[in-house]
Amino acid sequence: MIVISARKRGLWWPEPGRGVFALLLVLAMLLGFSWADGSELPRAEAYGVGQQSEAFPQIIPSDQFVALAAEKLEERLLSIGETRRHELKLIRAPQSMRLPEGEVSCEVQLPKILNYGMTNPVNMLVYVNGKLFRRTVCYYTIRVYEQVLLVTHDLGLEHRFTAADVRVEEREVEAASVEYFHSPQEVIGKVPSRVLKAGQVLRLNMVQMPVAVEVGSPVDILVDVNGVQVKAEGIAMQKGRIGTYIRVRSLRQISPGQGYRCPYGAD
């Protein structure tokens, strides 16, 4: 039998170092050690050890919280129409929770907006007999993947896209609201709206139509008012891209000193 020899049989010592002795005493109680004179140490239950399981006989394991959080995240992704390949990465799991006797229920609260590629807290409220008992939280990262269009090499402004400039590859998306190109046919003939680097994913705001009209170019102005059309020759005051509106000046002054906004398009 292992015994402990001590000058005093108290939990606290008046001298320095009493905290270490207190810790050793608690461990001795748990392991069933005895004093040197053969007398038994106080029972661990006298200090509250072992009473927790009696007062809180029910337990929700950590794994159950984790599974519940993942289930609710999947339901949210489905409800917002997210059908792309995705994965949920657990960042931090909550601890297991002990509960008293009674009917247990759990309410899961998700963030208003799920942030892709970032940590999302999932709050869980545990109720016993309809009353809030305790809160806990679980942290997940959501990663969503999609087949998107990438730039194969560096591209400058006004360079018209060809099939050799892009390729399709699966990549992790940045956010649910970001839109991407998926096929080379969507960009061929168009030009970058900014300088692009090799390997960069093409978003919709990175591509624009090419310039169709330069400043000073002759244009035809067509005005339709209540079914009555008036056509006149004019001069472009701005350069314009296909499908955009530009300022023009009529060679025939319909209204002196007034300019006109006119759509210019080309197939």
Instruction: Give, in order, the Cα–Cα distances in Å from 23 to each of 20, 42, 61.
Output: 5, 14, 28
For residue 42, give the DSSP letter: P
Contact (Cβ atoms closer than 8 angstroms) between residue 209 and residue 242:
yes
Contact (Cβ atoms closer than 8 angstroms) between residue 144 and residue 189:
no
> 0.95 cut: is pTM over it?
no
Q: What is the pLDDT of residues 175-195, one digit of tens each?
A: 878 899 999 999 999 999 999
Contact (Cβ atoms closer than 8 angstroms) between residue 60 and residue 126:
yes
Fold for the domain defined by 212-263? SH3 type barrels. (2.30.30)
Q: Three-state secondary structure along 82-128?
A: CCCCEEEEEEECCCCEEECCCCEEEEEECCCCCCECCEEEEEEEEEE
CATH 2.30.30.760 domain span(s) along the chain = 212-263
Pick the CATH number of 56-208 from 3.90.226.10, 3.20.20.30, 3.90.1210.10, 3.30.565.10: 3.90.1210.10
The whole-chain average pLDDT of the chain stands at 81
CA–CA separation, 177 and 111 (whole Å) = 16
CA–CA separation, 47 and 82 (whole Å) = 53
Q: What is the pLDDT of residues 113-170, one digit of tens each?
A: 999 999 999 999 999 999 999 999 999 999 999 999 999 999 999 899 999 999 999 9
Q: Which of 27-31, 53-57, 67-71, 201-205 has the lowest mean pLDDT?
A: 27-31
Q: Which helix (H) or strand (E) holds 18?
A: helix 18-31
- Over range 58-76, report the average pLDDT: 96
CATH 3.90.1210.10 domain span(s) along the chain = 56-208
User: Residue 87 above 90 pLDDT?
Assistant: yes
Tell me phi and psi for residue 107, to 5 degrees: -105, 130
